[in-house]
Amino acid sequence: MNTVVAMTKLPLGQRKMLIGGKMVASAGGQWLESISPATEEVIGAVPRGNKEDIESAYQAAAKAQPAWEGLSPGKRGDYLSRLADAVMARGEEILEVEVMDTGNTIAKMRFDVGLGCDALRYYAGLAYEMKGATVPSTPGNLHFTVREAYGVVGRIIPFNHPVMFAIAKMAAPLMAGNTIIIKPSEQSPLSAAILGEECAKVLPPGVVNIVTGLGAEAGDPLVRHPHIKRLAFIGSVKTGMAIQRAAAEVAVKVVSLELGGKNPMIVFPDVDLDKATTGAINGMNFAWQGQSCGSTSRLFLHESIHDKFLDLLVKKVSALKVGDPLDESSQMGPINSKGQYEKVLHYIKAGQEDGAKLMTGGKRPSGTGFEKGFWVEPTVFANVQPHMRIAREEIFGPVLSVFKWSDLDQCIEIANSVEYGLTGAIWTNHLNTALKTAMRVKSGYVWINGTSAHYMAMPFGGYRNSGTGREEGLEELLSYTEEKSVHVMLG
């Protein structure tokens, strides 16, 4: 929107964005309202950044980059560690803003700031791992490689974990010697201002720039900027492909993408039903309404345990407490935005139309407090078939699709039949079965007898349309450098 309500009516305030070490409004003088997904009330506002703001951010970042890369890796690591300390000191404040802005439940979101800061410290610890190599190409001469920063890089952040991703995903680019422009999601932008304030205090001006705004007005100019060669995006396949096309129209660019998933969890007959049903619920990430690209939203149950497993699963899902995301006891909050809410309802309707059996959920919760807001009960469908829309398309909501299988080859064929390949989970107590199945599932990140968790230094990324590149490990750090070969002719 172009205007906002009076600042006194905004519980989370009218906030600014970071450009060149200063918290500023947009050059266009416009603002974006942020809507509470729980109440549909305006709770805050951020600048509606535009192409002019992206250019200002680029100029600031380009000016700061040579001196930043000129620091020793250890010094850059010191800056990242100090930033982690500063952000953690405001952790509770950031948490409240995040919960109100995203709708994610406070009990689970409490870990997000810490996870982001852990990434800052992890990459600070990798300061001296950006190594080149010597190569014995010819006798009598010296051949070696060095790694250099790209310069100014761009990152576009999703709505589901806005501050965690903003913090964690600046770590590798900065450690590699780049400066950065971050574009947060317009759907959950408020915490970006707090992060910007701490970056302004700790880091040299221009090293980090955070420009809020709509995708078409701020994101597209960032993607199309002719002097920003390295880009990264987390979000939907459709948007990721659009970014690839837009970037390619301007220049040759390096674009890494962490995109959607329709991830399988395959359950064998020998599992503990109580642990495995809890694992299936955890894998769906109901604490943030299933709004996670890594959610194991397709559950494959062996026919010998299908009925008992499904009965127990439905009981547990039906018992999840949907409520105020600021309430510590709430286990699921509202969908992030009206558009996403309508998308989830569309797929619930599609599941019923296609013949899946609705076991629980699928509607707005009853009772006081749910009259407004983007609320949907946690939902489970059974008798799901491979051709159904809920079996093939990413919903990004609290909808779990259950399949029955008897033949493992056919089960794996169906699991691999979608366009995605981000995560997967195998549940069995038989080691050979677990490892053989994990090798056959075409996903970039696989759990055995687990779901959802990420582990530092383990590369995360997807196969097929789930993305390109790997993050969360040394590979991400090196991906923000270019390799130069140097030949010293000693003869």
pLDDT digits over 143-161, tens only? 999 999 999 999 999 999 9
Q: How many CB atoms lie within 10 A of CB 397?
A: 24
Beta pairing, strands 17-19 & 22-24: antiparallel
Q: Which residues contact 113 (CB under 8 A, 6 or more apart)?
A: 87, 88, 91, 94, 95, 163, 164, 167
Which residue in the list 258, 471, 472, 476 is annotated as catalytic?
Answer: 258
Q: Check residue 9 and give its pLDDT.
A: 67
* Distance (Å) of CA 382 to CA 70, 373, 403: 58, 27, 7
Q: Check residue 219 and give its pLDDT.
A: 96
Tell me whether residue 293 is one of the annotated catalytic residues.
yes
Pick the CATH number of 7-259+467-485 from 3.90.1300.10, 3.40.605.10, 1.10.287.130, 3.40.720.10: 3.40.605.10
- If you average pLDDT over residues 46-73, what whole number do you get? 98
Give the CA angle between residues 392, 395, 400 to the nearest 5°: 80
Q: Which residues contact 381 (CB under 8 A, 6 or more apart)?
A: 351, 356, 357, 358, 359, 390, 399, 400, 401, 402
Q: Check residue 2 and give its pLDDT.
A: 35
Kindly state the greatest CA–CA separation across the chain. Answer: 85
What is the domain partition of the chain in residue ranges?
7-259+467-485, 264-455
Q: How far apart are CA 91 and CA 46, in angstroms?
A: 20
Pair 14, 80: CB distance under 8 Å? no
- If you average pLDDT over residues 120-148, what whole number do you get? 95
Q: Is pLDDT of 384 > 50?
A: yes
Pair 32, 214: CB distance under 8 Å? yes
Q: How far apart are CA 414 and CA 400, in angstroms?
A: 16
Pick the CATH number of 264-455 from 1.10.10.10, 3.40.309.10, 3.10.180.10, 2.40.370.10: 3.40.309.10
Average pLDDT, the chain: 95
Q: How far apart are CA 186 and CA 235, in angstroms?
A: 13
The pTM of the full predicted model, rounded to 2 decimals, is: 0.94
Which residue in the list 33, 186, 217, 293 is annotated as catalytic?
Answer: 293
Q: Is pLDDT of 476 > 90?
A: yes
Give the CA angle between residues 195, 200, 201 to the nearest 5°: 100
Q: Check residue 8 and give its pLDDT.
A: 47
Measured between alpha carbons, how far apart are the two ends of the chain, in Å? 68
- If you average pLDDT over residues 380-391, what whole number do you get? 98
Model confidence band, residue 491 (pLDDT cutoffs 50, 70, 90)? confident
Do the domains at 7-259+467-485 and 264-455 have one common CATH topology?
Answer: no
DSSP string across 356-398: -EEEE--SPPPSTT-SSS-----EEEES--TTSHHHHS---SS
* Residue percentage of the chain with pLDDT more than 70: 98
- If you average pLDDT over residues 201-230, what whole number do you get? 97
